[in-house]
Amino acid sequence: MTEKLNREDIKSLLPEELDAALRAMGEPAFRAKQVFRWLNVPAASFDEMTNLPKALREKLAERFYLTAPAVERKQVSALDGTVKYLWRLNDGNHVESVVMRYEHGNTVCVSSEVGCPMGCAFCASTIGGKVRNLAASEILDQVLWAQKDSELKISNIVLMGIGEPLDNFDNVVRFLKLVNDPGGMNIGMRHISLSTCGIVEKIDKLASLALQLTLSVSLHAPDNETRSKIMPVNRAWDVDTLLAACRRYFERTGRRISFEYAMIRDVNDTPFHAKLLADKLEGTGSHVNLIPLNDVPESGLRPSTPETMRAFIGTLEKRNINVTVRRKLGPDIEASCGQLRREREELR
Ligand code: SAH
């Protein structure tokens, strides 16, 4: 472990950084591409990189370490083929990822942190708080190893697993560049969605990068009283401050925001909430994705009834707001929004 502290995380290096490091070691120009390819295979050790000279493999192993998550547990939904992974990271921490099989392509939902600091009342990922950021390599590994293990070609990514991506801004942006690189997974920004609970200063920072990914914002209530009760982040940046940042984001990137709204019985699903939400979003061209609340026993919260949901949708549609209801995948393996956990109790 002490030795490892002196070594560098090779998979978190951007292609140009890898190139500079290898040239500084006296390697020829083509080496970086070769190594980058192996990192994305993904190779679990430098020894597997068989087209590199043995001496170089040894030098690399002295200077760098290679992240490689182990499958602690894998569950496959009998209902829709959704696959959930619990990974054990190099340092023994755990995170989860989910592979969903949509008609438009296989999508992996990845975690960005070990645990989550945001404290939303309805979400299992935040129970126990945040342990640490994930490295860019550890976010990328979830895509690489899920694809390899499941043998499902991944074409889309959602940063909607455990953690708040914008709380781990630098590593997440690094991950986006790595997974987007033509020499690696080559996944287009338009095939990537990033979801945030609403850290306004980081939404502006992301806007300044003008990436073409889809930004989803977890709104969950149109008024401060309700939102502050279920989402502590609202006490730092309230609803109108958040919506103003969303407008700036659209102006800067040309990409419309998608709003997530988990329907919680008697909390945020009344006619008052539907009308206020319509008032705030009317004319913005935004999209609202309603999520029937998924079961997180610790929260004590319950999903809205189907009738309440229908009435809520009716109010929004009457005001020409584009509404969809998120399909629940993997209900038999707790793979749905808000159900991912850092570690399962039975493993503690
Ligand atoms: N931290 C980011 C990424 C998480 S994405 C964020 O907050 O956006 C997971 C999505 O599922 C978020 O919109 C989150 O608010 C929502 N969610 C959390 N718990 C849920 C639950 N029990 N039922 C339905 N959706 C939930």
Query: What's the per-residue H, E or C state across 284-313?
Result: CCCEEEEEECCCCHHHCCCECCHHHHHHHH
Residue 65, amino acid: Y
Closest CA to 200 of 234, 251, 161: 234
Shortest-distance Cα residue to atom 26 of ligand 1: 338
Round to whole Å and give the CA distance between 287 and 275.
16
Shortest-distance Cα residue to atom 5 of ligand 1: 160
Fold of 2-65: DNA polymerase; domain 1 (1.10.150)
Round to whole Å and give the CA distance between 61 and 122.
43
Please name every residue paired with 217 in a beta bridge, in sequence order, or none if there are none: 196, 259
Ligand 1 within 6 A of CB of 195: yes
Ligand 1 within 6 A of CB of 110: no
Kindly list the distances between the CA atom of residue 282 and the CA atoms of 274, 275, 308, 319, in Å, as whole numbers in the listed order. 12, 10, 21, 7
Q: Which atom of ligand 1 sits closest to the CA of residue 299? A: 22
Quote the pLDDT of residue 1. Answer: 45
Ligand 1 within 6 A of CB of 338: yes
Question: Cβ contacts of residue 297 below 8 Å, gap of 6+?
Answer: none
Quote the pLDDT of residue 24. Answer: 97
CATH of 70-346, one of 3.30.460.80, 3.20.20.70, 3.50.50.60, 2.30.40.10: 3.20.20.70
Residue 192, amino acid: I
In the chain, list all ranges with CATH 1.10.150.530.
2-65
In the chain, list all ranges with CATH 3.20.20.70.
70-346
Three-state secondary structure of 218-263: ECCCCCHHHHHHHCHHHHCCCHHHHHHHHHHHHHHHCCCCEEEEEE
Quote the pLDDT of residue 342. Answer: 87
Q: Which atom of ligand 1 sits closest to the CA of residue 118? A: 1
E-state strands within 146-191: 154-159
Query: Residue 293's CB: how many other CB atoms inside 10 A?
Result: 23
Closest CA to 293 of 326, 340, 342: 326
Please state the separation of Cα 333 from the chain's center in Å: 19
Residues that are catalytic:
96, 337
Shortest-distance Cα residue to atom 15 of ligand 1: 218
Ligand 1 within 6 A of CB of 261: no
Yes or no: say if 312 and 263 are a contact pair by the CB < 8 Å rule: yes
- Burial tier of 78 (Cβ tally within 10 Å: 0-12, 13-18, 19+): exposed
Q: Which atom of ligand 1 sits closest to the CA of residue 220? A: 15
Ligand 1 within 6 A of CB of 296: yes
Ligand 1 within 6 A of CB of 289: no
Q: Which atom of ligand 1 sits closest to the CA of residue 162? A: 4
Round to whole Å and give the CA distance between 313 and 296.
24
Which residue from 227, 260, 261, 340 has its CB within 8 A of the most atoms of ligand 1, so it is best to mutate? 260
Yes or no: say if 99 and 161 are a contact pair by the CB < 8 Å rule: no
Q: Which atom of ligand 1 sits closest to the CA of residue 301? A: 22
Three-state secondary-structure class, residue 280 = helix
Query: 0.85 cut: is pTM over it?
Result: yes
Please state the separation of Cα 315 from the chain's center in Å: 30
Quote the pLDDT of residue 346. Answer: 45
Ligand 1 within 6 A of CB of 160: yes
Q: How far is the CA of 337 from the centre of ligand 1 (A)?
A: 5
Question: Cβ contacts of residue 283 below 8 Å, gap of 6+?
Answer: none
Please state the separation of Cα 241 from the chain's center in Å: 23
Residue 231, amino acid: M
Shortest-distance Cα residue to atom 12 of ligand 1: 218
Ligand 1 within 6 A of CB of 197: yes
Place of tokens 């697993």: 161
Which residue from 110, 125, 195, 202 has its CB within 8 A of the most atoms of ligand 1, so it is best to mutate? 195
Quote the pLDDT of residue 279. Answer: 98
Ligand 1 within 6 A of CB of 87: no
Please give the chain's pLDDT, 348 residues, in tens: 445 558 999 999 999 999 999 999 999 999 999 999 999 999 999 999 999 999 999 999 999 999 999 999 999 999 999 999 999 999 999 999 999 999 999 999 999 999 999 999 999 999 999 999 999 999 999 999 999 999 999 999 999 999 999 999 999 999 999 999 999 999 999 999 999 999 999 999 999 999 999 999 999 999 999 999 999 999 999 999 999 999 999 999 999 999 999 999 999 999 999 999 999 999 998 999 999 999 999 999 999 999 999 999 999 999 999 999 998 999 999 999 999 988 754 444
Q: Which atom of ligand 1 sits closest to the CA of residue 196? A: 8
Tokens coding 177: 């560049």
- Which string of b and e fits 40-71 if b means at least 16 CB within 10 Å? bebbeebeebeebeeebbebbeeebbbbbbee
Ligand 1 within 6 A of CB of 158: no
- Whether the bond between 42 and the residue before it is cis, its omega within 30 degrees of 0, is yes
